[in-house]
Amino acid sequence: MHSQNKLKKAFTILAFLAVGFLFGQQPYKRTLKLMGSRFDITVVAKDSLEANGYIDLAVNEISRIERLISSWDENSQTSEINRNAGIEPVKVDAELYNLIQRAIGISNLTDGAFDISYASMDKIWKFDGSMKEMPSKESIQNSVSKVGFHNIVLDKENSTVFLKLDGMKIGFGAIGKGYAADRAKDLLISKGVVSGIINASGDMNTWGRQPDGKEWKVAITNPMDKNKVFALLPITDGAVVTSGNYEKYVNFNNVRYTHIIDPRTGYPATGIISVTVFAPKAELADALATSVFVMGKEVGLNRIEQLPKVECIIIDDKGNITKSKNIQIERP
């Protein structure tokens, strides 16, 4: 009994020290453009000098990943893979190989609703107001003729990636920012940063708590009015990603077509205007948010509920809110 009390006392002191350590710190935030998008990086630190050192580390890590996965940078390994489509396999770093392997895993999980070879798609849909009529059925079918994750050949032994079809391309637009946020977060944790947020244009990745001990809270935008928040959700260690079509869409024959296109058919997704996914990693949340749009409400929700530690909120084009079973929505 005596030793138990000593143990309890030790734990109490440790808990007190941990809380005290946080109370001596405060959050510091920097906003900048990375990977063609807005990034807000927040770290909890004792002073601005320490905070800026940590944020610099995160920026360097995100920039390194961009150089690896960018299909716009002709010197990247991703561009090298695309240049050699239909010609020969390309040897790549283990990091890129593993990212592509995980992406193919998500493609299998979502029956191809997520597909990094979407970059092969002909851009026949315009969401800038210039489209006056729907593309023809034939041109839509042709637009995805070179899309298909089954045509990405991986050789683990040689760490090579080969795209079977001439003109085929891969891109990380629906997974890259989430992956970069994950890597930056892991790096900062390894350097001793106790708490923070990396917000990659709405891909939120958090760890720890606010200096006062309260959980970080994520605001979910009302897609019917993007200036209003319809829910606040606490998040302490994980990621939340929202995909919305309330800004980019076209209407034909009373159907609203979103800018998120089904890589299997070439047709834009319909019926959903906002998907928010909670997952342990931003990479997975990023990919699944896009996938649910494409799969639709029923199939998407069913798939999400089969995954451990993954939850979602779906808003359809009638304004109805559907959420997975374990989410508790807190109204602002």
What pLDDT sits at residue 5?
A: 42
The count of other CB atoms within 10 Å of the CB of residue 193 is 22
In whole angstroms, give the CA distance from residue 64 to residue 60: 6
pLDDT at 4 over 50: no
Confidence at residue 43, expressed as pLDDT on a 0 to 100 scale: 96
| Residue 23: predicted pLDDT | 55
Question: What's the pLDDT at 118?
Answer: 94
Predicted pLDDT at 201: 86
Q: How far apart are CA 218 and CA 199, in angstroms?
A: 11
The contacts found for 323-329 with CB under 8 angstroms, 24 or more apart, are 327/233, 327/278, 328/233, 329/231, 329/233
* Cα angle 274, 275, 276; round to 5: 125
- Which of 150-164, 196-210, 217-231, 296-310 is predicted most confidently? 150-164
Under 8 Å between Cβ of 80 and 67: no
Q: What is the pLDDT of residues 253-279, one digit of tens each?
A: 777 777 889 999 999 888 888 899 999
The pLDDT tens digits of the residues spanning 292-323 come to 999 999 999 999 999 999 999 998 888 888 99
**What rounded mean pLDDT belongs to the chain?**
86
* Torsional class of 25: left (φ above 0), alpha (ψ -120 to 50), beta (otherwise): beta
Specify the pLDDT at position 247: 60
The candidate with the shortest Cα–Cα distance to 197, out of 17, 18, 58, is 58
Domains of the chain: 77-163 (1.10.3980.10)
% residues pLDDT > 70 (the chain): 89
What is the predicted pLDDT for the residue at 226? Answer: 67
Q: Is the pLDDT of residue 242 over 80?
A: yes
The confidence score (pLDDT) of residue 27 equals 93
Element (H, E) at 255: strand 255-258
pLDDT at residue 332 tops 70? no
Can you give the pLDDT at residue 220? 78
Tell me which of 111-120, 240-249, 260-269 is least confident.
240-249
Distance CA 121, CA 87 (A): 19
Element containing residue 216 per DSSP (H, E): strand 216-222
